[in-house]
């Protein structure tokens, strides 16, 4: 379904030439020139293929005696534009140039082609020259661009990520797509007697946990603070006072070690953990993020440039609903694991609790939105009504039926989002993913629908600093600029 990249071989020559002629017309290279390029020891040619079909190719030239490299050519089939193929080809060639110790990469681009120029600019290339009448016979000028590798793209940057958006102080360290450390200090126990996260308690706990969490992360990664190439931090969405602790800490750390800082969106970062497990994120993907603070459905076409919020909860987050119902049932905090445990002995069909925002009348405005407050009220009423009649309430049945209602809505809407958008995969994130029933139902229904399901390990599902570092590392490897030092925190930061 989706495209993949690999090194080109001589066997690809015919397909490449076909695409070359379509793309460049009377400006095309000849077949012997292309063969020589493909076979030369100083070149690296990649092809992007979907199934067996070649949909793009690109080449890099780097002579051993020179410190500079050249992008020789790049082309993506018309029908496969806007899928990020050109960007991926460029990124891999930049990475290759970096591995070959090039310090700069040059390319020429037609002056009359704004789209590729924009891509190159996003990747960090800068215009350095213009050559009149370069492309013949059209007489179009070439813009010469240069990327200085040492200052922008780095093949495997060591990034330290700080996450303080809710009740977990997370500091993680990655090297490129490799996880080096993921340390989490949770203030969950301090919130237990309040039945939910108290923002002021969370913020105080972050401040107290900072130093020890940082030291442990460095120790786990086996590096010193001098090895860090960049600092990343969540600047939203989340609890404002809690976010500010992380942002203040991250900014001062970045200034202290004189390294760039990247402000990162918490929700998008939840999706970015997949690159730590699989090396890259397969796109497009739908992401279902479910925690005590969020219930969101994202459509990710490109991790760095194209993430769309399809829907989110309009009242309680799913995790919050678990906490509140746990209290109604006399179970302890956090409610998710407790309800999960009790529900194992219950009948999920015993009580038909409402599925929020699933009625036809809700579909226009709330196709992918969630609502759990009505469900919460229905469960509480059920329990209170039974108690007032002096009836015995089966906590196991109520827990199982409640859990079923939550899971049913989450998975149904996530799969609808995949199918409606023609997306063949779903990734889960957030602490509620620990719920066994959610995992089981998601697995079964995804299999039924032919959707690939990704569930990261739990330590990467819950809020953590590694996901923040991972997303920033992706930005760095794509040559994206760091954040300016004056960014703020945004409790409702859009994706």
Partner 1 sequence: MTQVLLAIDTSAGTAVAVLVDGVVKSESYDANSMQHAEQIGIQIQKGLEAAKKKSAEVTVVAVGVGPGPFTGLRVGIAAAKMFAEGISAPLIGVGSLDAIVFAQSLIEPTLVLTDARRSEVFFGLYQGKTAAGVPKSLIGPGVKKQAELEAQLQTAGHNYLLANSQVSAANLGLLALAQLAEGTANTSVVANYLRAPDAVPSKGKKVSG
Give me the residues that bind partner 1 (CB under 8 A), please.
Answer: 193-195, 198, 200-201, 203-204, 206-208, 210-211, 214-215, 225, 240-241, 243-258, 261, 327-328, 377, 380-381, 384-385, 388, 485-489
Q: What is the DSSP letter of 336?
A: H
Any idea how long the chain is? 495
Cβ 221 to partner 1 shortest distance, Å: 15
Cβ 35 to partner 1 shortest distance, Å: 53
Beta strands in 41-125 (DSSP E): 43-50, 53-61, 68-76, 104-110
Cβ 323 to partner 1 shortest distance, Å: 11
Cβ 138 to partner 1 shortest distance, Å: 48
Tell me how far apart the alpha carbons of residues 304 and 262 are, in angstroms, rounded to a whole number: 13
> Judged by CB, which is closer to partner 1: 83, or 328?
328
Q: How many other C-beta atoms are found inside a 10 Å radius of the C-beta of residue 325?
A: 26
Do residues 348 and 400 touch, judged by C-beta distance below 8 A? Answer: yes
Tell me how far apart the alpha carbons of residues 232 and 162 are, in angstroms, rounded to a whole number: 6
> Judged by CB, which is closer to partner 1: 249, or 409?
249
Helical packing angle, 13-24 and 31-39, nearest 10°: 120
> Judged by CB, which is closer to partner 1: 162, or 281?
162
H helices, E strands: number in the chain = 17, 17
Place of tokens 């929020």: 356
> Judged by CB, which is closer to partner 1: 5, or 245?
245
Cβ 280 to partner 1 shortest distance, Å: 31
DSSP string for residues in 253-305: HHHHHT--EEEEEHHHHHHHTHHHHHSS--SSEEEEEESSS-EEEEEEEETTT
Tell me how far apart the alpha carbons of residues 425 and 412 are, in angstroms, rounded to a whole number: 14
Please give the structure tokens belonging to residue 71. Answer: 């992008």
Do residues 260 and 254 touch, judged by C-beta distance below 8 A? Answer: yes
Q: How many other C-beta atoms are found inside a 10 Å radius of the C-beta of residue 106?
A: 17
Cβ 366 to partner 1 shortest distance, Å: 23
Cβ 31 to partner 1 shortest distance, Å: 56
> Judged by CB, which is closer to partner 1: 83, or 250?
250
Do residues 393 and 255 touch, judged by C-beta distance below 8 A? Answer: no
Cβ 391 to partner 1 shortest distance, Å: 14
Which residues have CB under 8 Å from 207's CB, separation 6+? 245
Helical packing angle, 114-122 and 85-99, nearest 10°: 50
Cβ 489 to partner 1 shortest distance, Å: 5
Cβ 313 to partner 1 shortest distance, Å: 19
Tell me how far apart the alpha carbons of residues 183 and 489 are, in angstroms, rounded to a whole number: 22
> Judged by CB, which is closer to partner 1: 255, or 458?
255
> Judged by CB, which is closer to partner 1: 164, or 291?
164
Question: If we measure between CA atoms, which residue out of 333, 336, 330, 332 comes closest to residue 318?
Answer: 336
Tell me how far apart the alpha carbons of residues 136 and 326 are, in angstroms, rounded to a whole number: 73
> Judged by CB, which is closer to partner 1: 142, or 380?
380
């Amino acid at each position: 379904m989706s495209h993949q990249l690999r090194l080109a071989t001589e066997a690809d020559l015919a397909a490449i030439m076909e695409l070359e002629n379509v793309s460049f017309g009377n400006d095309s290279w000849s077949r012997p020139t292309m063969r020589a390029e493909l076979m030369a020891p100083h070149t690296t040619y990649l092809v992007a293929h979907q199934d067996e079909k070649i949909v793009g190719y690109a080449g890099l030239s780097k002579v051993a005696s020179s410190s500079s490299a050249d992008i020789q050519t790049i082309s993506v089939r018309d029908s496969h534009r806007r899928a990020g193929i050109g960007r991926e080809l460029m990124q891999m060639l930049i990475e290759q140039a970096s591995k070959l110790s090039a310090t700069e990469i040059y390319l020429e681009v037609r002056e009359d082609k704004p789209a590729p120029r924009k891509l190159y600019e996003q990747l960090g290339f800068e215009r350095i020259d213009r050559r009149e009448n370069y492309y013949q016979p059209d007489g179009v000028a070439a813009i010469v661009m240069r990327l200085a590798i040492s200052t922008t793209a780095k093949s495997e940057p060591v990034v330290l990520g700080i996450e303080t958006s809710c009740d977990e102080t997370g500091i993680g360290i990655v090297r490129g797509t490799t996880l080096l450390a993921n340390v989490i200090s949770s203030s969950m126990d301090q919130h237990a007697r309040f039945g939910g996260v108290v923002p002021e308690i969370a913020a105080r706990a972050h401040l107290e946990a900072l130093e020890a969490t940082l030291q442990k992360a460095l120790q786990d990664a086996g590096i010193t603070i001098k090895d860090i190439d960049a600092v990343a931090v969540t600047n939203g969405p989340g609890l404002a006072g809690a976010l500010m602790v992380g942002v203040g800490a991250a900014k001062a750390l970045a200034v202290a070690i004189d390294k760039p800082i990247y402000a990162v969106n918490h929700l998008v970062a939840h999706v970015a953990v997949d690159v730590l497990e699989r090396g890259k994120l397969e796109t497009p993907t739908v992401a279902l993020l479910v925690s005590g603070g969020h219930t969101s459905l994202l459509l990710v076409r490109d991790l760095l440039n194209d993430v769309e919020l399809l829907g989110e909860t309009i009242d309680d987050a799913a995790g919050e609903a678990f906490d509140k119902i746990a209290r109604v049932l006399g179970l302890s905090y956090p409610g998710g694991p407790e309800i999960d445990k009790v529900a194992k002995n219950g009948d999920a069909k015993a009580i038909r609790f409402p599925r929020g925002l699933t009625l036809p009348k809700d579909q226009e405005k709330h196709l992918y939105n969630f609502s759990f407050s009505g469900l919460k009220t229905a469960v509480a009423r059920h329990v209170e009504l039974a108690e007032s009649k002096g009836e015995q309430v089966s906590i196991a049945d109520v827990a199982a039926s409640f859990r079923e209602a939550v899971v049913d809505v989450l998975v149904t809407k996530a799969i609808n989002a995949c199918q409606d958008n023609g997306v063949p995969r779903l990734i889960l994130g957030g602490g509620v993913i620990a719920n066994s029933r959610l995992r089981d139902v998601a697995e079964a229904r995804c299999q039924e629908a032919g959707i690939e399901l990704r569930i990261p390990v739990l330590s990467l599902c819950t809020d953590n600093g590694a996901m923040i570092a991972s997303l920033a590392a992706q930005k760095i490897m794509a040559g994206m600029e760091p954040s300016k030092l004056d960014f703020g925190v945004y409790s409702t930061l859009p994706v």
